[in-house]
Amino acid sequence: MPPPSALDVEAATDTQAATFIDRLSLNGVPARRSKSPAVSTGLATYASSDMFKSPGHGKPKAKRWDHILTQESNSRELSSLKAASQLLKTPGLISLGAGLPSSTFFPFEHLQVKVPKPPQFSEPETKDFGLLVQAGKHDAAEGKSLYDIHIAFNYGQATGSAQLLRFVTEHTEIVHHPPYQDWQCTLNVGSIAAFEMALRTFCTRGDYIMTEEYSFCTALETASPLGLKCLGIKMDEEGLLPFHMDDLLTNWSVSERGAQKPFLLYTVPTGQNPTGATQSAQRRRELYAVAQKHDLYILEDEPYYFLQMQPYTGPDAPDIPPPSSHDAFLDALVPSLLSMDIDGRVMRMDSFSKVIAPGMRTGWITASAQIVERIVRHAEVSTQMPSGVSQLVLFKLLDETWGHPGYLDWLIWMRLEYTRKRDNIAIACERFLPREVASWVAPEAGMFHWIKVDWRKHPLIRRGEAVQLLELEEKIWRAGIESGVLTAKGSWFRAEGGAGEEMFFRATFAAAGEKDVTQAVERFGKGLRVEFGLLDRNGEVNGQANGHQ
């Protein structure tokens, strides 16, 4: 897939959302906050995105989704104890009602993290580099902060604390500006937990859900034990093909399929796992139109949204200059499905795992108030809330230390770092993979490089031997391991199982260092040469530095 031109990037920001005048800008945050209710420093106090959003005048309200809510979801009720906690606002009332322990017994006097200071992120491990950020036990009571150990380490609401919820609500409005009125955010313990809750909210055993032909295997493994069948939608280099989804749905036969027509799509639009594909703005609009036509509900899983990179220019061309401002950075991002969701038919899942750290186990969803309320009712009797320790660390870092501008600085820095990593693996592939059998497209986003291997050229196939594609895939994968590199087999990610028409291997370039990645690609190239019996220019099967052939 060719790198997007400047024109494409501009077109990508041309969404309906941009027409609303109350869009929250970075500079608008202080004014917005001054109009919001004060963040309560009480324990486990109720919070909602509605407190922190712009009013959304003139936007349509979300559609109702009653017709697809499951029996399980419909029967979730507000707990009596939680309803009673509203009474706590009565002045002077002493509560012996809620079962909260006393923070007197929390064995922590302070929590401190050392964090890098924007905009200098590039040497985060230099001594005396960075800021010491500290939370005490009673900072709120002492007027030092809105959030402290006393609050964060106690029980809280399933929405997450007001303190962190405010930040993610504002961030969501700044980045996506959902074009309907009654959107809300709620925090969760990670997108897979949110995905499981969403499946139980919408789907019943026997239902089909739709997803990319190759999809995130943990998502597939989440759906399968619930008795849900996955329908793989064909893909190209821009990911899911809406016309194929339209075709499947238009021609759905309940009697042939033994299941009702699918109404739920799970998609990873940006830097998709495993293919690395990123849906263009136009592709997303087409996808949304098909969703409207068939009244689909969309689960938009976007852990890699901020791992969008600079366009790939190849080994010898100069780099594209980095975004010159926060606005230029935001404009360079491909618009989310949430940003075009005038119906409230998207539940977007955001995550701190790839841009802060997976161990936070803290993410959030954005959806219509109806759906958020159902998910919150579920979380109250399940995961309850994300770790208060994580929430406190994130609040101190993102809200109190970096603020929205500093966080965007960080995301710009991540963009450039991932660009470097992507360029490194793309160049290594050009140097070391045998073009006779391997092909790829440098990804625009995410952590994954998706390598297609032309199995038709394998000696066993050429000799006309009877070999199953899955066996051949295993053989080639093992050849990589024998050469010293572990990749992931494409078949692991098949939404409908089995082998596809083509054969792929996924290489993650996020974790390993650049030299290791280069060496690993070299080894994979060698493994392919050995396996496919390819000789290099010296007549040897070793794949050493054979240049840009």
Per CB under 8 A, which of residues 387..406 are in contact with a second copy? Answer: 387-393, 397
- Other CB atoms closer than 10 Å to residue 461's CB: what's the count? 15
Contacting a second copy within 369-388 (CB under 8 A) = 378, 380-388
Q: Quick check: 357 binds a second copy (CB under 8 A)?
A: yes
Q: How many whole angstroms separate alpha carbon 161 and alpha carbon 527?
A: 51
Q: Which is nearer to a second copy, 9 or 517 (CB)?
A: 517
CB-facing half-sphere around the CA of 413: CA atoms within 13 A: 17
The one segment of 32-40, 172-180, 509-517, 539-547 that binds a second copy by CB under 8 A: 509-517
- 156 in contact with a second copy (CB under 8 A): yes
Q: What is the DSSP string of 133-188?
A: EEEESSTTTTTS-S--HHHHTS---TT--HHHHHHHHHHHHHHT--SSS-EEEEEE
DSSP, collapsed to helix, strand or coil, labels residue 287 as helix
CA gyration radius, the chain: 25
Smallest separation (angstroms) from a second copy to the CB of 200:
9
β partners of residue 240: 235
Per-residue mark of binding to a second copy, 97-126 (x: CB under 8 A): xxxxxxxxxxxxxxxxxxxx----x--xx-
Q: Interface with a second copy includes 204 (CB under 8 A)?
A: no
User: How many residues would you count in the chain?
Assistant: 549
The nearer residue to a second copy, 20 or 129, going by C-beta atoms, is 129
Interface with a second copy (CB under 8 A), residue from 130, 322, 403, 405: 130
What's the maximum distance between 2 C-alpha atoms anywhere in the chain?
88
Binders in 166-195 for a second copy, by CB under 8 A: 189-190, 192-193
Closer Cβ to a second copy, 80 or 324, answer by number: 80
Contact partners, residue 145, CB within 8 Å, separation at least 6: 135, 136, 139, 396, 400
Q: Which region among 19-27, 278-286, 311-319, 442-450 touches a second copy (by CB under 8 A)?
A: 442-450
Is residue 152 near a second copy by the rule CB under 8 A?
yes
Q: For the segment 270-299, give every residue that binds a second copy (CB under 8 A).
A: 273
Contact 520, 505 (CB under 8 A): no
CA nearest neighbour of 277 among 233, 246, 320: 233
- Cα gap 67→296, rounded to integer Å: 12
Residues in the interface with a second copy (CB under 8 A) total 117
For residues 77-96, which are near a second copy according to CB under 8 A? 77, 79-81, 84, 87-88, 90, 92-96
Q: Which residues from 478-497 bind a second copy, rule CB under 8 A? A: 481, 484-489, 492
- 216 vs 312 by CB, closer to a second copy: 216
CB of 476 to a second copy, least distance (A): 14
Q: Find the shortest distance in angstroms from Cβ 86 to a second copy.
A: 11
In the Cβ-directed half-sphere of 419, how many Cα atoms lie within 13 Å?
21
State the nearest-atom distance from the C-beta of 85 to a second copy, in Å: 9
Instruction: Check if the beta carbon of residue 186 is closer than 8 Å to that of residue 166.
Output: no
207 vs 108: CA distance, rounded Å: 48
For position 511 contacting a second copy by CB under 8 A, the verdict is yes
Binding residue for a second copy, selected from 5, 42, 155, 465, defined by CB under 8 A: 155
